[in-house]
Amino acid sequence: KQEVTQIPAALSVPEGENLVLNCSFTDSAIYNLQWFRQDPGKGLTSLLLIQSSQREQTSGRLNASLDKSSGRSTLYIAASQPGDSATYLCAVKDNYGQNFVFGPGTRLSVLP
Amino acid sequence: KAGVTQTPRYLIKTRGQQVTLSCSPISGHRSVSWYQQTPGQGLQFLFEYFSETQRNKGNFPGRFSGRQFSNSRSEMNVSTLELGDSALYLCASSRDPRGNTIYFGEGSWLTVV
């Protein structure tokens, strides 16, 4: 059974810092991995999708990497801004194309 | 284009009642999945539908059920509500079950009193 963990659970940084969020999964037989952002009381917004054959994806100030063999993914946020404050979740889908399994999320606060 | 639409956004029910939540996927998307989000358990998968067929079901009791219509709209139903069913229920859509990016709605907040 796939299990996804995220470290740290919460993070508070001053504006302008570069930061890294970590995601680990127990079963490396994944189809893809997706990073989401969730604002309080809202739904999830997809940030980056990495297919199992890819090593990384970039979108603006965001960069996500994937190391299937070690069961890890990282989300790198460059030059953080207060508007980046949210909960970030990673989710993996297995090779059978079944449902996503979500991590518990990292709650990020970027202080002005 | 319009995103995933969920109705109602907020509702309060009494223990023992039942509730029906609705989800309209993005136009052209035929796969709809449902998730329950609570502070203690996080996001948990409920079920997934594609072309009116349930493809996969999470580990929830039979009180939780769903269906999908020919226009891809989906509903989920929870019968005999319990206090522990209080949660944010999220619907997500994608083009197909193996489709890449999934798009979430804003969710339906259910409070059981």
B17: closest CA of chain A, how far (Å): 24
Question: Is residue A16 predicted with pLDDT exceeding 70?
Answer: yes
Return the H-helix or E-strand segment holding B24: strand B19-24
**A20-26 average pLDDT score:** 97
Question: Is residue B43 predicted with pLDDT exceeding 80?
Answer: yes
Question: Is residue B111 predicted with pLDDT exceeding 90?
Answer: yes
Please identify among residues 47-66 of chain A the ones whose CB lies closer than 8 Å to any CB of chain B: 49, 51
Residue-level pLDDT at B99: 63
Q: Which residue of B44, B97, B105 is in closest CB contact with A43?
A: B105
**Inter-chain residue contact A43 with B42, CB threshold 8 Å:** no
Q: What percent of chain B stands above pLDDT 90?
A: 85
**A64-86 average pLDDT score:** 96
Output DSSP code: residue B100: S
**A18-35 average pLDDT score:** 94
* Pair A31, A22: CB distance under 8 Å: no
**B76: which 2 tokens?**
């989920």
Nearby residues of A100 by Cβ (< 8 Å), 6 or more positions away: A34, A91, A92, A93, B33, B45, B102
**A79-104 average pLDDT score:** 90
A43 lies within 8 A of chain B by CB: yes
Q: How confident is the model at residue B92 (pLDDT cuts 50, 70, 90)?
A: very high
**Inter-chain residue contact B102 with A104, CB threshold 8 Å:** no
Q: What percent of chain B stands above pLDDT 70?
A: 98
* Pair A44, B89: CB distance under 8 Å: no
Residue A10 neighbours by CB distance under 10 Å: 10
Nearest-angstrom CA–CA distance, A88 and A29: 23
Nearest-angstrom CA–CA distance, A108 and B22: 31
Among A68-77, B39-48, B95-104, name the one with the lowest average pLDDT: B95-104
Question: Is residue A81 predicted with pLDDT exceeding 90?
Answer: yes
Radius of gyration of chain A (CA): 13
Amino acid sitting at position B64: F
- Picking from B104, B107, B113, B95, the residue whose alpha carbon sits closest to that of residue B29 is B95
Q: Which residues on neighbouring strands pair with residue B59, listed in sequence order?
A: none
**Which tens digit of pLDDT belongs to each residue from B52-67?**
999 889 999 999 999 9
**A99: which 2 tokens?**
């449902």
**B5: which 2 tokens?**
């639409």
Residue-level pLDDT at A95: 72
**Average pLDDT, rounded, for chain A:** 93
**Inter-chain residue contact A34 with B101, CB threshold 8 Å:** yes
Q: Residue B43 burial (CB < 10 Å; 0-12/13-18/19+)?
A: buried
Among A35-39, B42-46, B96-100, name the one with the lowest average pLDDT: B96-100
Residue-level pLDDT at B46: 95
Residue B53's alpha-carbon distances to A35, B33, B67, B93, in angstroms, are: 27, 11, 8, 14
